[in-house]
Structure 1
Amino acid sequence: MPRTTNIVLKEIIENKILFIRGKKVMLDRDLAGLYGVLNKNLNKAVKRNIRRFPEDFMFQLSRVEFANLKFQFGTSSWGGVRKLPYVFTEHGILMLSSVLNSERAVNVNIQIMRTFTKLREVVLSHKNLQRKIIEMEKKYNYKFQVVFAAIKKLLAVPQPEYSPAKKIGFLPHAERKEK
């Protein structure tokens, strides 16, 4: 693959990695697109080799998880999806390389593995930085507490503000006054 393709591919891959059930995963349709195959053909190949894909390598999303994904992406429909999508963990993606044996699939898998490795390194360096700040906090006096509090705020991972009880859209006149 040419170098420019790798750069674009790396950014595309990073945007397609999701965090579901405490695991970094990729959707079957996204992987099929990267591999240049139809989603149904990717899933057929997996089903022919289902023993290679235990639950910690691949799982099907629940209706709630799928609804949350659609909400996060801001779409009301994903083109008439009839079956809940499958997601693949890093190990499942590695196993896909033995099921999909095209040159493109091999090259894409290599790039995906590099991206997962890079993400692990970023998380590790983030944890090391937090540990060092805590150690420094213990050494220095209270005058630096404001600085440490600001740094911690910058390092904090923002939590999604989604609340199923939150009303969206036009509020009647009476409800606007209550807020």
Structure 2
Amino acid sequence: MAKISQNVIPSRQHLGGSHPFAFTETGVAMLSSVLKSQRAREMNIAIMRAFVALRKLLVEQTDLRLEIENIKKKLDNHDKNIELVFQYLDELLEKKENPKPEKPPVGYKLKGKS
């Protein structure tokens, strides 16, 4: 059975053999204008509070997700910087292990002086 989410209960021709499993916030508000019993009003208030809580939760999670993404970016930058430091250290160690051969001094050699 396919899941359908509608604002209000659709006509039978639009159901396609399945029933809706959830209402949107607008659908609940529209339904409450049709149903007039005390129980319907109480349920409407409870459902609307649930939608408000859900919306608040989503906003809080979005903020948290953005903070986590910022931390990940910083960590990626730190990782790259640490890699560069190790690369430079490796290059310095290679230079120390394989020193360049000394070049003879440029200029004239004077007789009698070493």
Normalising by structure 2, what TM-score? 0.51
Mapped to 2, the partners of 1:62 and 1:93 lie a distance apart of 22
Correspondence 1:158-173 to 2 at 5 A: none
After superposition, residues 148-163 of structure 1 pair within 5 angstroms as none
Equivalent residue, structure 2, for 1:96: 31
Matches within 5 A, 1:60-79: 60=10, 61-63=15-17, 66=18
Alpha-carbon deviations, 1:72-102, whole Å to 9, x = none? xxxxxxxxxxxxx245321111111110001
Q: List per-residue Cα deviations over 1:28-68 (Å, max 9, x = no partner).
A: xxxxxxxxxxxxxxxxxxxxxxxxxxxx62254444xx4xx
Q: What is the alpha-carbon distance in structure 1 between the residues aligned to residue 62 and residue 16 of structure 2? A: 31
Name the counterpart of 2:7: 57
> Aligned partners of 2:57, 2:74: CA distance in 1, in Å?
26
| Distance of 2:16 and 2:61 partners within structure 1 | 31
Give the corresponding residue for 1:28.
none
Identity of aligned residues (%): 38
- Provide the C-alpha distance between the structure 2 equivalents of 1:94 and 1:138, rounded to a whole number of angstroms: 42
Which TM-score applies when normalising by structure 1?
A: 0.34
Once superposed, what is the RMSD of the aligned Cα atoms?
Answer: 2.5
Of structures 1 and 2, the larger Rg is shown by 2
CA spacing shift, 1:100–1:59, aligned 2, 3 Å: closer
